[in-house]
Structure 1
Amino acid sequence: MVTQTDKPGHGRTIAVFGASGHTGRFMVAQLLRRGFAPLAIGRDIAKMTESGFQDSNVPIRSASIDDPSSLDCSLAGAAAVINCAGPFLDTAGAVAAAALRARIHYLDVTAEQPSAQAIFDRFGDAATDTGIVFIPAMGFYGGFADLLATAAMGNWDSADEIRLGIALDSWRPTQGTRITGQRNTARRLVIEDGKLVPLEQPAPQTSWDFPEPFGRQDVSEVPFSEVPVIARHLRVARLRSYLNNTPLCDLRDSTTPPPIAADEKGRSAQTFLVDVVVRNGSKISRAIARGRDIYAFTAPLVVEAVERILDGRARGSGALAPGVAFDSTDFLRALTPEYLTFELRAD
């Protein structure tokens, strides 16, 4: 269903599935800011209409993952689709299959390990044969850590260990985050002896000395979709991912409210720091990034990827990790200083 006349995008028409969701609205706004022509796609046309897209002359289309023909119609005229509709265990396969039928690029923002792995396994060969790019987990949880780890490794062929620490000053989860958490019951994976293995239970607890402003934090081992993404291309014997306990307490409290806009861009006041430590023997390399609002930050992260794919700066085709598709250091620096501060250190 199309509720207003679609305008030609001249190769810069980008479909956003799940556009009326919290992250989806940031994605549409970022696409507009970067000169793209977004198509807002959702399952609930009433909710789509209430989201105000028509005020920005953004076409609205409805589609269901249970109706392949509706997905095919919704993607007509697009050069790529960004899937923002979780749980991705439910939506990613259907939307990615529609992208393959349409012969357009596919990106999503899943933090779910099984979803990211399924995109690689199911669509990799077909995307390569078709000459399109599929990038699962291009969001804050997943692709961001992969870019940082790849930048930190630099020209090293392998690493003995990668330790990833995420610090949030708070976490006001969206409804989508809560629903995804309930849906995603799969055993989380880490890398040990170069292989994907289940995380031991209960999740290990430790502490992490983050750079300022966070300092020393109690953390829990919480691997997200960065694990299967990093495992695709970095030779690392051991990978561990940690999140500080403060946001975990927020997430586990059912009374924690959703994000509240605190600036003119709709971003919340939440701040984040990601600290990636790569060790190879006695050598240590570190990538440190700071920013604001993990949901809002996902939009420029993904749209930068779309820009690079469409202008020919992606390296190859197929189902790719961000660190394979892009020059990771150049990519991250392109987001500074507006969305990110980023530094590399050799300790």
Structure 2
Amino acid sequence: PIPVGPSYLPKATFGLTVAYIVLYALLFLFIYAQLWLILYYKHKRLSYQTVFLFLCLFWSGLRTTLFSFYFQNCVLANNLSTFPYWLLYCCPVCLQFITLCLLNMYFAQVVFKAKGKYASNPSRYKRPLKITFGVAVLIFVATNITCAVLIRQYNGQDIPEAIIVGRVIINDSLFVISAILLSVCIYKIARMPTANVLLEAKGFTVGQSIAASVGIILLYVSRAMYNLIAVSPISTPSLGYSWLNVSDQADLLNLGASDLNYIVFGLVLFFWELLPTSIVVILYRVRRPPQDLMSSSMSTQSYKYFFDNPRRYDSDDDLS
């Protein structure tokens, strides 16, 4: 989210700051290790999996950097120029959406390949996918860049409500649509025996894939619905707290007003950002190839792999 006011409290407790940094840093190190495993096991170096892992690595690195400002540079974090401001506050959300689109594209291709018509004319299926998700990513990124520039022009003071509402509607609508499309792909894969082979070769069951997808879509839908309620002009019962206090739009408030605001903001990022990203990273982590493939490089047996095909030089599971 894009901070509209001072986003970090100078009085944040040391323990909370360390806890937040450790969570994001652990994810960063885990993904970094996965990238090395790709080289170690001689998997395909340029694939959906590697691009996906690099996106998540960049995302976790930016979030770790953002929270590290709490130690000594809280004031600097609240007064960044436009590009660093966008990079630390907005870019992580954009990376999450790009990652979700990447997963959609791959699962959609799995569905198309399972139908048997894909091999005869793959561009017929790939081109619409690339155009559709490419346009969605451009809209998402352009919206966040525009909002970041406008907010910096207002210096965090008297921000027009239309900017915030527009950001919420566009961002969260795209997240929900992409999450629904992902669940549709997983549902179709679960009903197609041919597609199931790809999932089983990856090392997890169809049930695990469905459970992970359902969890992700529920997190994104709940996030979108709550954000819309938080910025809605419709009066809502206070229930003893402001709706913005427990929304990832809490940047509309001064999070430095109390330690509670800081704690809740960290929890929001954990459930609505760190958790869904961790789910997909763990689900698609690099798996150790079968021993017979590792011991015999001359094997001509054909295998089907989801992401990490050990025959990385003759696989068509790439980004072309």
Normalising by structure 1, report the TM-score: 0.26
Structure having the higher helix fraction is 2
Q: Considering fraction of residues, name the structure with more strand.
A: 1
TM-score (norm 2): 0.28
Larger relative contact order (CA 8 Å, sep ≥ 6): 2
